[in-house]
Amino acid sequence: MTTRSATTAAASTSGPLVSCAVGYLSAWLAARTRMVSSQPKYELIQEVGRGSYGVVYEAAVKCTGARVAVKKIRCHSPENVELALREFWALSSIQSQHPNVIHLEECILQRDQLAQRMSHGSSSPLYLESRFTLSIMAARPELSHFIRLVLVETSLKGEITFDPCCAYHLWFVMDFCDGGDMNAYLLSRKPSRKTNTSFMLQLGSALAFLHRNRIIHRDLKPDNILISQARTPAGSSEPTLKVADFGLSKVCSASGLNPEEPASVNRCFLSTACGTDFYMAPEVWEGHYTAKADIFALGVIIWAMVERITFVDAETQKELLGSYVRQGEDIVPLGEALLENPKMELLIPARKKSMNGRMKQLIREMLAANPQERPDAFELELRLVRIACRELDWDT
């Protein structure tokens, strides 16, 4: 299974504008960047996850004892910094919390023993990167990607202002989810209609919230959906989903869009093919898509959850939830198969009596080859609620 990053190599573009931009940045950082010493606010308890992107720890807030998750990202390459910037920009742009979206408590830029708290709209190097790049894009669009990587490297790798001998890290403090990810949670338990219905409602609500806030996730998959097992007053554990990992997300600009029209995110066209292949929509493979690509990914997840369709990842040998098309002995991602044959009819449901007619029709529409035939996130949320209301048997 392949995850495609939104980061590409910078073009070897140069000129007076680049020199001017770098000079401006150097002077700006020298005048405005303030690193302040920080006493430890969190106590790391144990490592809970590790990847090429960074390390995730379970931690405790020293003054309260509350559990949090802390993601440590080493800023040693433009790729890592680009992913971190996307996650920071998306999560910090949200003005309110949602129970099914991971909450960013704070983001800290660390240089050795010094630290600076980042905030959306602040005068930090991270925010400067986003704001200053926009001005360069307006003047010279062909240089925008090159300038962005120059700014990322100069502001975080120490090529101009910071000491290159120092180690730079970004720390993301977020909700701690004690139930693992959606794959681990569901595949370690017997199928449950009650759990399936609850998860569908939570996912539909989370996606509607993100799209209402003009955030396209672009990498929805069970690995990026975490479980928090909160205790009820009766002592039972009720799983709460948290959509996480916004490293490939895109915050669509409100420019030219009607703020009063919630579905306007579906007119934000993107061209970078990124995501995880088994959950990517056909149009993402082509490189021309909107937020409807998230609807397709959620369709893959819900179909796989309801019928417990799994495959084994060739790289990790881990069993994962995900629907696909079988071609001989090979399994092919749905999006790739539909790109080759848009008229292909998917066998939904794969097993008889595994879902009712309304659920069957909704999943088929979510997985339509033509994104215009898919419901948007707001219609999807409403239809999932209607389907859940008709699910009277909550005992299985």
Rounded to two decimals, the pTM is 0.80
Cite the annotated binding site by residue number: 72
Residue numbering of the annotated binding site for ATP: 72
Q: Which residue numbers in the chain have pLDDT < 50?
A: 8-37, 122-163, 256-257, 262-263, 393-396
Task: Give one DSSP letter per residue of 139-159, joined into a string.
Answer: H-GGGHHHHHHHHHHHHHS-S
Q: Which residue has the tokens 């179909």?
A: 303
**List 175, 181, 219, 245, catalytic entry:** 219
The domain 182-389 is classified under which CATH number: 3.30.1490.20, 2.40.10.10, 3.90.1580.10, 1.10.510.10?
A: 1.10.510.10
3-state helix vs strand vs coil in the chain, percent to 5? 40, 20, 40
> Is 393 one of the annotated active-site residues of the chain?
no
Encode pLDDT of 139-156 as tens digits: 444 444 444 444 444 444
Topology of the domain covering 13-175:
Phosphorylase Kinase; domain 1 (3.30.200)
pLDDT score of 232: 59
pLDDT in the model for residue 221: 97
DSSP conformation letters of 249-287: -EE---TTS-TT-GGGGGG--B----EEGGG--HHHHHT
Output the pLDDT for position 84.
85
Q: Which sequence spans correspond to the domains of the chain?
A: 13-175, 182-389
